Structure formats: structure tokens, C-alpha cells
Amino acid sequence: MCEGCNTALNSRCRRCEGIYPSDDMIYHDGPLCRVCFNFSYGHCHECGSVKLITDLNAHNDYYYYCNRCSRSFGTVCDICDARGDSHVSHYIGNFCQSCFDEHVVSCHHCGNHNLVVNTTEIRDGESLCLNCELDHYEWPAQAYLPGGSTYTEVGSELSFGIEIETSRCLGFNRLRDNTLWACTNDYSISGKEFVSPPLHGDGGLNEIRDFCSYAVDHGWESDSRCGLHLHIGLGDFEPQELKSLAYAYHITYPLWSQFISEERSGDSMCGRPRYSKSEIEKIPTEDYEGWEYFVAERDRFDAINWRAFLVHGTIELRLLNGTLDSELICNWIKAHTRFIDFVTKQSIDDLYLFFCGDDYYQFTALTEIIGTKLANYYSDLASGFSNSVRPNEACLEPF
């Protein structure tokens, strides 16, 4: 094509300088290809005029208006979509006066405005934003004093307590002065940590069910970044019994790992216990000094946290995924308290014979300790994580 014909049939985009057929160009302050025009210009939704994008005002991230129409018709309320020239323009959005009065409140602590759905009313006319609620409110646990405790369901007289980590607990402050549970800060999670007082018996399980029921009913959550920690009281055990318990968890750790997610088992906050059978056997049993020296050397972030013995007189089991499922939590308590009752009465050599084998062998041994009904639950739990603790996962009839 000669230069004259090329010039007559094609044009150069003034923005990108590309050569395009003249019929496909848009002429607005000079020739523009369609891509450059759409990038630089837009239409006013009200009057249809073409304006630079920078000269248009966006409403609700969808409609654009020129300055004249914005002034004439006003801004759009982010809640009811009504347009008006007397709307409240705020750093959290644009609102008509009625929606602003109904849906926006100021935080009683920091003074910042927030939508009502993102705040918690702590008393009439006073609300807290989520950040202030999480940062400034915590309280201690109260004593648990049940009357006439039974142990039929739990199957053990050992005391226990749990720490529930949450990722969402909007409105938790309403529990203050209305619960036995402590509320504490844990900056590894986005919610709060709730700590039960020392519990025991079937009444203790019911206390956990009541708390979890409240949490679920109010939309609380516990995500994959959270864990559930179980403390079991060991104050009445002799050093030799504690040695047997340490070895029992050492040898059965791979089995307990079948009942949690792969992500949780690889979490550095609940790592595999780092001690050997020979280390345990070397602990003297004349008094508690040797045992205390052993636990003082342990890492508190092991899945089996023995450091808790020095602080609370407990063993802390950190393996379980974060959860508000009361059935899972109560069954976890039943399994471990029954397990501890059994293994502390055995010698290390007897435990080696009882548990030395693969996961199938160990699960058969565990079934004898915790009972078939509870073992069936754990078999199903392992299957849910694509793990197998029975050769054919055949469910036995509970007795």
C-alpha cells in the first residue's frame, strides 16, 4: 500500500501510537484505539457525556457520574442505594441520614465509627469495635464446684481442663461475669482463647458442652490456625508412674496423630515429643527431683507438653485441631483420661510389649483401654482424615 492510501485508510492512536484502521478508531480529542479509549474515558450514567475517568465520580463501585450530575443528584447511600445531596460522607462510606443513624455507631473505647454489624454492644448505648474488644478485654476463670459428681460417662476420676482457641468470637464480652471460663489474649490467633477451670467427672463434660453450645449459637469459629489444648491433672502420681506415662505417649504418638489433620500434625506449635525410651529409663525415681529436671528440659510447644507439670501439675496435650465440636472435645477427654489411668499402672517393659507394633496393632490395644464404642468413633475420625487404624475399617458393635 502506498503512503497516501495508508494515511487515508489508517490512523495512529495518539495514546499508544499504534496504527489501526480509521473506521475502528474513536475520535475524541484526537484518534484513539478502542482499548485506549476504554482505559482513559467513561460515560456518565446519568447524562451519557464522555469524560476522562479521572473526572468521573464512582458510586457503589459500579455507576459513574460526571461532576455536574453528582452535584445535581447527590451521592448514593451504600446501604439503601437512595440518592441525595445531603448524604453523610464518612471514612467508612456514604450514607443517607437515616441509614447512618441506624447502622453506624462509634466505639466506646477508641471513638472510631463502625457499622453496627462489626461491633458489640456491651451495655445500653455503648458499643465496642472488634479490635478494641479483642485487645482490651480478658478475665480469669472461676472455681468449678459441682455437687454429687458422677464418673460413669467420662470413665475416669482424673481432673481435666481445656483451652479453646478461636478465630472469631464476636460478642464474647457478654460472657463476662456470666461464665466460669477465663478469657485471655493469644496473639497467634485472630480471636480469643477461652480457658476452662479445672473440671472433673460427667459434670465437667456437661460444662464443656454448655460453653461450646453458646459459642456455636453465636457464630464463633475456630479455624486451621487454632488448636485445642487438653490439661489432665497428674498431682497424685508417683515418679515411676509418670515415667510410664511419658513412655506410653512416646511410643503411641504416631497413633494419636492419625486422629488429627496432616496440617495440624506438622504444626511447629505441637511438634513430636523429642525424648527417647533410654532417656526416660534413666530418670531416678527416689523423689520428684529427677522427674522435674527431665520435664524442665522439654519444649513447651511439643505435642505432649511436660513443662506444664512444673506450672500446673498437669500434662498438656496440644495435638487436637482447633474446634468447638463438643462431641469431639469430650471424646478426646474420655480417651486420654482412660489411657492415662491404664498406662500409669504398667511398667515400661509391659507397655513396650502392649504397644510395640504398627498403627493397627496399637489401635487394637487402645480399644481394650478406651472401650469399643469410643474406639469406633476414633476409627471414623481417622477415616475422615484419610487415615486408617483398622485393616478393613470394619466397625465393631458397641457394647
Q: How far is residue 237's CA from residue 252's CA, in Å, rounded to a whole number?
A: 20
Q: Over 90: is that where the pLDDT of 291 sits?
A: yes
Confidence of residue 395 (pLDDT cuts 50, 70, 90): very low
Question: What is the mean predicted confidence (pLDDT) over 160-176?
Answer: 91
| pLDDT class of 126 with cuts at 50, 70, 90 | confident
CA distance readout (Å), 142 to 85, 133, 178, 182, 308: 55, 21, 10, 7, 20
Q: pLDDT grade, residue 146 (50/70/90)?
A: confident
- The rounded percent of the chain whose pLDDT value lies above 90 is 53
Instruction: Please name the residue that has the C-alpha cell 482463647.
Output: 193
pLDDT tier, 115 (very low <50, low <70, confident <90, very high otherwise)? confident
pLDDT tens per residue across span 258-290: 999 988 887 877 888 889 999 999 999 999 999
How much is the pLDDT for 86? 67
C-beta of residue 226 within 8 angstroms of C-beta of residue 322: yes
Decide if pLDDT at 79 tops 90: no
**Cβ(72)–Cβ(53) under 8 Å?**
no
Q: What is the pLDDT of residue 85?
A: 65
Query: What's the chain's average pLDDT?
Result: 87
* pLDDT digits 0-9 by tens, 180-223: 999 998 878 889 999 999 999 999 999 999 999 999 999 999 99
What is the reported pLDDT for 76? 74
Q: Given this model, what pLDDT does residue 220 score? A: 96
When pLDDT is cut at 50, 70 and 90, the band that residue 394 belongs to is very low
Q: CA nearest 323: which of 145, 167, 128? A: 167
Q: What pLDDT is attached to residue 396?
A: 46
Per residue in 8-28, pLDDT tens? 678 888 888 888 888 888 887
Higher-pLDDT residue of 266 and 344 is 344
Query: Quick check: helix, strand or coil at residue 117?
Result: helix
Handedness of CA 160, 166, 172, 173 (dihedral sign): positive
Q: Measuring CA to CA, which residue among 195, 197, 210 is closest to residue 145?
A: 197
Name the least confident of 56-60, 143-147, 343-347: 56-60
pLDDT bucket at 314, cuts 50 / 70 / 90? very high
